[in-house]
Amino acid sequence: MNYRHIYHAGNFADVVKHAILALCLEHLKLKDAPFRVIDTHAGIGRYDLAGVEAGKTLEFSDGIGRLIGVDAAPIPPAVAEPLAPYIEIVRKLNAGESLSLYPGSPEIAAQALRREDRLVVNELHPADHATLAATYAGDRRVKVMALDAWTALKALLPPPERRGLVLIDPPFEDRAEFEKLAAGLADARQRFATGTLILWYPVKDPATVAAFYRAIGGLALDKTLRAELLVRAPSDASKLNGCGLFIVNPPWTLKDKLTALLPFLAERLAKGAGAEHRLEGSA
């Protein structure tokens, strides 16, 4: 519970996660029926990139800063369309070409909601929960909770709307987090079989990620995508070398969009030799 995402807001992992989240939300809006978004590890919603915390690491400069920062190269037309839902939300928070605020996953979702849709954001860290609650106090579509994330997952599924998306994005402070993620996936799938489930994970040691996929291999999930991006070769397990998203019931259009987007992000966000992407699944 000591993790504070403000130090990492807008980094390469956020770019990957939030670009994919925005695409999934846009797909949900194609139908008139209302949907619900559940964010189990929400953070504070909006991040001050000009603040002291973000300034200590400047991780955003190698993330969102490489896409729309002052010195960023233009985004090629081939990937402008799949990046558009995400980039538009980032630009909406910032005046002109400046980059001083960054939207976390609650803000990405809140910006995508229609009047009839709902968002439940859960954050256990006391200070971050207070900030999150204050940020969305005036939005009747948003409910803010402060539960253990795995308890919240059980309590909130299935949603009344029977349509929606669940984002599970642990801080991975706990060595058992991958095991908890696998168990959470099994339970969420059982409770909300029709929902889109998005699980984020870090890539430090590839063997740990491989063990996670072996653990979930017996769940007989027939509609999934695995999207990974490495910003360098994973030769040092103490570093965040990349990240991945495991998506259950992804939008049918998502794989084609990521086929174009992930190679571009791997090149644009690279930090060293061995930067690459991976995209596989039955969806």
Return the active site residues: 169
Calpha distance 94→245 (Å, rounded): 27
Rg (CA), the chain: 17
Half-sphere exposure of 189 (CA within 13 A, CB side): 20
At 17, the amino acid letter reads: K
Calpha distance 165→220 (Å, rounded): 20
Burial of 26 (0-12, 13-18, 19+ CB in 10 A): middle
Calpha distance 159→179 (Å, rounded): 24
Burial of 184 (0-12, 13-18, 19+ CB in 10 A): buried
Compute the residue count for the chain.
283
What letter would DSSP give residue 101? E
The answer to whether 218 and 192 have CB atoms below 8 angstroms apart is: no
Location of structure tokens 């939005």: 139
In 3D, which of 247, 234, 236, 239 has the Cα closest to residue 274?
A: 234
- Chain centroid, CA 37 distance in Å: 12
